[in-house]
Amino acid sequence: MKNMKNNSIIAVVIGALLAVIIGIIVWNAMSMKSAQSDGARQDKKLSVVTTLFPLYDFAKAVGGAYADVTLILPPGVEPHSFEPTPSDIVRINQADVFVYTGKAMEPWAEDMRSGFPSSVETVDASQGISLIEAVFHDDDEPVGSMDPHIWLDFDNAAVMVSTIEKAFENRDPAHAEAYRANAADYRAKLSALDGEYRQSFSACSTHQIVYGGHYAFGYLAKRYGLEYAAAQGIAPDAEPSAKDIADLVAQVKQDSIKYVFYEELTSPKIAETLSSETGAQLLELNAAHNIAQDDYIQGVTFLGIMEKNLVNLKVGLGCR
């Protein structure tokens, strides 16, 4: 009897030890699985879809190594008349973050945002920015239409960068510190570029920009106290009247303007007409809505485009 009792005790002890060992093994397995899952989340990049090139470039700068940023606007395509394809909508629905400029620039995005799944952080980059009224030229642009080219004021661009940063931090708090550092670095570059612009325009023979394209540089002109006249309204397909062209020709001749600017990605025929009528030379002024395929492949940046604009503006305005 005594031996049987001892055997029972030994069996209970062994059973308890086995239970503890099995528990430890299960706990370790679960811990390893959790660690692997956490590691997978750490390794997975934030999926970001943007509409215009400035947003694409801002998001890449802020996201750095932790974000996979795509541009739904095909390189070389003029953005004002762009409409997303069904595959574009699928890409947005599958993204972690979707960034658009605002309802003044992409009304389709504003209309669709309520239909995006809650898993998509939808970001209106114009939040916190005061829009200015656009100059209008036809019935498609009634009085009070707002100018959507907000990124051409570098203070606005800095606000857009901060808005993108906050969205990234919200969706991926594990890398919040990196996003904050990247955003701060980019805002510092914008501030430095703003200083270059201010210094450059402090000593110029003229402060008049005559633009043979659509009205895109109202924010830049307002920021630096420049006079700005464009041949078209805020939409590139707005056709200027014969009087609009005649008025610009008269202005160029009267004020002895030596350079007329033309825009990117569209035919420069209006600027060429102004040039042939006045003898003024042509210079590009790029609003950076989008970039050409070659520039996209070469990794052209928003800051690089703005630096090139400054070079041409200094020549066109006769700045020392």
Q: Which of 19-33, 155-169, 223-237, 293-307 has the lowest mean pLDDT?
A: 19-33
pLDDT tens readout for residues 184-214? 999 999 999 999 999 999 999 999 999 999 8
* Contact partners, residue 38, CB within 8 Å, separation at least 6: none
Q: Is the pLDDT of residue 303 over 80?
A: yes
Residue scoring higher pLDDT (14 or 278)? 278
Are 287 and 152 spatial neighbours (Cβ–Cβ below 8 Å)? yes
Tell me the two tokens of residue 152: 């051409």
Q: Which of 70-79, 236-245, 276-285 has the lowest mean pLDDT?
A: 236-245
Q: Is the pLDDT of residue 23 over 80?
A: no
For 314, phi then psi, to 5°, come to: -65, -40
> What pTM was estimated for this model as a whole?
0.85
How far is the C-alpha of 123 from the C-alpha of 311, rounded, in Å? 33
Rg (CA), the chain: 29
The pLDDT score that the predictor gives to residue 18 is 47
Kindly report the average pLDDT of the chain as a whole number: 88
Q: In what order do the strands lie in the sheet with 208-211?
A: 227-230, 208-211, 259-262, 281-284
In DSSP terms, 123 is beta-bridged to 99
How far is the C-alpha of 177 from the C-alpha of 192, rounded, in Å? 23
How far is the C-alpha of 312 from the C-alpha of 55, rounded, in Å? 24
The pLDDT score that the predictor gives to residue 110 is 92
The pLDDT score that the predictor gives to residue 26 is 36
- Burial of residue 83 (CB within 10 Å: 0-12, 13-18, 19+) is exposed
% of residues, the chain, pLDDT over 90 = 73
* Contact partners, residue 232, CB within 8 Å, separation at least 6: 137, 213, 214, 215, 238, 239, 240, 270
> Where do the domains of the chain lie, and which CATH numbers do they carry?
46-197 (3.40.50.1980), 203-316 (3.40.50.1980)
SS (H, E, C) 9-75: HHHHHHHHHHHHHHHHHHHHHHHHHHHHHHHHHHHCCEEEEECCHHHHHHHHHHHHHHEEEEECCCC
Are 260 and 251 spatial neighbours (Cβ–Cβ below 8 Å)? no
The pLDDT score that the predictor gives to residue 34 is 42
| C-alpha closest to that of 102 among 111, 94, 93, 115 | 111
Give the type of residue at 240: P
Q: Is the pLDDT of residue 238 over 90?
A: no
How far is the C-alpha of 79 from the C-alpha of 214, rounded, in Å? 12
If you count them, how many residues does the chain have? 320
The pLDDT score that the predictor gives to residue 43 is 67
* Contact partners, residue 89, CB within 8 Å, separation at least 6: 112
Q: Is the pLDDT of residue 28 over 70?
A: no
pLDDT tens readout for residues 63-117? 999 999 999 999 999 888 789 999 999 999 999 999 999 999 999 999 999 999 9
